Amino acid sequence: MGVKVSLGVSLGAVLAIVVVALVGGEVSALQPVFGILVPYAAFAIFLVGFIYRVVDWGRSPVPYRIPTTCGQQKTLPWIKQNKIECPSSTLGVIGRMILEVFAFRSLFRHTKAEMASGNIVYGGSKWIWLGALAFHYSFLIIAVRHLRLFLEPVPFLINGIDLVDGMFQIGAPTLYLTDLLLIGAVSYLLVRRLIVPKMRYISLANDYFPLFLILGIGISGVLMRFFIRVDIVGVKELAMGLATLHPVMPEGIGAIFFVHVALVSTLFAYFPFSKLMHAGGVFLSPGRNLANTNRAKMHVNPWEYPVKIHSYEDYENEFREKMKEAGIPVERE
Amino acid sequence: MYDAWKILVGLAIFLGLFTFAFWMNAGKAAPVPEPKIDTPEIKKMAVKQCVEDKEYMRTTHMQLVNVWRDQALRDGNREFINQKGEKYVISLQNTCLKCHSNKKEFCDACHNYTAIAPYCWDCHIVPPEEPKEEPREESKGNES
């Protein structure tokens, strides 16, 4: 697929969801579908799909150690081992996984190849690491913040996050820093795919679609908070109904809310089938979660069976007479 | 499944986090707040009408109040003309709180429910709830 087709398909899909939700949100008979049925179905698909994918990976055998080694392995006592980048113990693996999951260590190692006066030169490039970190952490904070709509009473910690996120008290309701960060970071990740030729070459519709989807979620959320206001008490009533399994559909919530919910539902339902499953996959990736004990310990393939062998001695015993007749030299007469 | 217990523990944590809201609420929905508008000032009104219509006030009052603050304190303009062309004096204390004198039953009802902590009261004095009480000295000179 060319870049125009990929972009068109993914942007078109997101816009189609927006239009369907806008129209559906205006029809009061369809509001329970978009406000209750679709979110429940999407969430169920997310939970079941996520678990299915993880169990499926868990059932795949990884008979041998295949960690990506990025430092000195454990060897002679006077050579210093890099215990995080080439772990040989469970503790080292845990340290490595913490760095990977919370600080995106392998993205930090990202390099960029450039031509400089006729030679290819590799250099560090931290922008993707910074962009990814900004994106993931602002998304996390935004998701946690949303719990204020699903919990009553609202836990102290969530109020605290809300307060810190809006600490500059710009406007009313206050501007959240993570809203700016999320939209900025997703835009960077999208623009990067579009303007770097090598990135554009390897990007497919399933790379663009989640970016457009998350950008749509961010934009619809910001619009709803600052520009096209909705009845927040009604929103919380709906959210509480969903969380207590006694769904109710309050009247008078604006159509923009249904756009936001439809996009979030799409993200939930799409998640287990997409590259977004790296969220679960990072924990199960054998390149990261195995200690480098290739030589220190014996690793036996679990499905290994005794191989039937036919040695040269047996071969000669079997064909000795025929070999002699044909003049082929034999080792034993 | 290989390393089954590790994966199952991980999946249990995943499920626990993502269904947090379900088991925290344990099926009990908190009552939806009903902000009370039965203050003496509102009871006196023939047509119970805020500065703008109810739907607008319900969703957008915070933005209006924010514009009011900038207009009154930064531009010194205390005149507000609503969508119907009616004039009001821009003042939280003398316009908003004149009718809505019941902060606990009106403002706080929804703000607490949706976990919103407006910073109005960083500067403004919270009006005394009991009208019988003597108004405090400091609040007399405060016009906004």
Does the residue B104 lie in any domain? yes
Does the residue B113 lie in any domain? yes
pLDDT value at position B129?
67
> Which positions 160-199 of A are in contact with B (Cβ < 8 Å)?
162-163, 169, 171-173
Spans of chain B, pLDDT less than 70: 27, 29, 129-144
- Residue entry with tokens 């760095």: A99
Does the residue B11 lie in any domain? no
Asked if A278 and A37 count as a contact pair (C-beta separation under 8 A), the reply is: no
Which structural domain, as residue segments, surrounds residue B66? 34-117
Q: What is the CATH number of the domain that holds A54?
A: 1.20.950.20
pLDDT value at position A269?
96
List chain A residues with CB under 8 Å of B3: 58
Query: CA of A44 to nearest chain B CA: how many angstroms apart?
Result: 11
Report the domain count for chain B: 1
**A224-245 burial, b if ≥16 CB within 10 A, otherwise e?**
bbbebbbbbbbbbbbbbbbbbe
A301 contact B CB<8A: no
Nearest to residue B72, comparing CAs of B56, B89, B50, B97?
B89
Report the domain count for chain A: 1
Q: Residue A51: which of B11, B26, B60 has the nearest Cβ?
A: B11
Q: What percent of chain A has pLDDT over 70?
A: 100
Grade residue A219 by pLDDT with cuts at 50, 70 and 90. very high
pLDDT value at position B142?
46
Does the residue B26 lie in any domain? no
pLDDT value at position A188?
96
Using the beta-carbon criterion (under 8 Å), do B59 and A246 form an inter-chain contact?
no
Closest chain A residue to the Cα of B122, Cα to Cα = A169
The answer to whether residue A182 scores a pLDDT higher than 70 is: yes
Q: Rank A153-162, A169-178, A210-219 by mean pLDDT and report only the highest.
A: A210-219
Cα separation, A304 vs B109, whole angstroms: 68
pLDDT value at position B122?
87
pLDDT value at position A179?
95
List chain A residues with CB under 8 Å of B32: 233, 237, 250
Does the residue B130 lie in any domain? no
> Which positions 114-153 of A are in contact with B (Cβ < 8 Å)?
147-153
pLDDT value at position A17?
94
What number of residues does chain A have?
Answer: 333
- How buried is A87 (Cβ within 10 angstroms: 0-12 exposed, 13-18 middle, 19+ buried)? buried
Does the residue A113 lie in any domain? yes
pLDDT value at position B27?
66
Does the residue B61 lie in any domain? yes
Task: Please give the backbone phi and psi of residue A34, each rounded to the nearest 5 degrees, phi first.
Answer: -80, -25
Query: CA of A34 to nearest chain B CA: how many angstroms apart?
Result: 20
What global pTM score does this model have? 0.87
Hey, what amino acid is at A77?
Answer: P
Using the beta-carbon criterion (under 8 Å), do A172 and B63 form an inter-chain contact?
yes
Does the residue A42 lie in any domain? yes
Arithmetic mean of pLDDT, A49-65: 92
Closest chain A residue to the Cα of B120, Cα to Cα = A172
Task: Please give the backbone phi and psi of residue B140, each rounded to the nearest 5 degrees, phi first.
Answer: -65, -45
Grade residue A204 by pLDDT with cuts at 50, 70 and 90. very high
Which structural domain, as residue segments, surrounds residue A9? 3-305
Does the residue A326 lie in any domain? no
Does the residue B76 lie in any domain? yes
pLDDT tens for A249-302 read 988 888 899 999 999 999 999 999 999 999 999 999 999 999 999 888 888 887
Query: CA of A215 to nearest chain B CA: how many angstroms apart?
Result: 22
Residues facing B43 on adjacent strands? none
pLDDT value at position B46?
83
Arithmetic mean of pLDDT, A131-141: 96
Does the residue B14 lie in any domain? no
Query: How many A-B residue pairs are in contact by the CB < 8 A criterion?
Result: 100
Mean pLDDT (chain A, rounded): 92
Does the residue A332 lie in any domain? no
Grade residue A1 by pLDDT with cuts at 50, 70 and 90. low
The answer to whether residue A184 scores a pLDDT higher than 90 is: yes
Does the residue A330 lie in any domain? no
Query: CA of B87 to nearest chain A CA: how many angstroms apart?
Result: 23
- B14, B17, B68, best to mutate vs chain A, most A CBs in 10 Å: B14
